[in-house]
Amino acid sequence: MNKFPAFKNPGFTLVELLVSVSILAVLTAVTIPNFNNFIRSQNLKQSQEQIKNGIRDTQIRAMAGVDSTNYSYWVFRASSGGTTFNIGKSADTTSCGSITVVDTSAVLPGDATLGVSSSPACIYYAMGSGIVTQTGLYSNIYVRTSISGSSTCYSVEINGSGLIKGVNSCP
């Protein structure tokens, strides 16, 4: 009688383990950059949604006529390179730099920053009606979010009727 079976050691050989670990290392090296790009893209999309929600909040406050005493407009203000935006009140549409700030947003996620055509940029909503009041010759107002070192850019467009929509490109 043979005390030892035909297969002495049912485990894996060192070569098999090294091959398996090498394959895992290659797969990990390939997926990590893709995952980082996915996270960066999701941060941009979340920033875009945060900006849209801030603009909608401003418009809703204007339509509801909140704090209409001494003020005619609710204002959304953003500055290029900033990571937050402001919601405030104003008596006119000429004082973008000196609005009465009511709320400041949370910091945009990741390393996303705001971009506007002229800084600071303000979007005015008339008290009571919520109609957007545009200053300048632009038919649309854009607020951009982009991450440094990335070619991806998402923007928020507000047309003359007050429609707020996300756009997956920047002007």
Q: What is the CATH number of the domain that holds 114?
A: 3.55.40.10
Let me know if residue 4 belongs to a domain: no
Asked if residue 7 is part of any domain, the answer here is: no
pLDDT tens column, 21-32: 999 999 988 888
Q: Is 152 exposed, middle or buried (0-12, 13-18, 19+ CB in 10 A)?
A: middle
Cα separation, 88 vs 40, in Å, equals: 30
Residues of the chain with pLDDT under 50: 136-141
Question: pTM of the predicted model, to two decimals?
Answer: 0.75
Residue 5 lies in a domain: no
In this predicted structure, what is the pLDDT of residue 140? 46
- Domain count across the chain: 1
pLDDT for res 24: 94
Confidence at residue 151, expressed as pLDDT on a 0 to 100 scale: 66
Q: Is residue 56 part of a domain?
A: yes
